[in-house]
Amino acid sequence: MSIKRHQAGKLFSAAVEHGGLVYVAGQVADDLTQGVRGQTEQVLNKIDAILAAAGTSKSKILSANVWVTDIRNRDEMNAAWTARIASILFNTCSV
Domains of the chain (ranges plus CATH)?
3-94 (3.30.1330.40)
pLDDT of residue 50: 94
CA-wise closest residue to 27 among 7, 11, 6, 47 = 47
Q: How far apart are CA 76 and CA 45, in angstroms?
A: 17
> Rg of the chain over CA atoms, in angstroms?
14
Spans of the chain below 50 pLDDT = 95
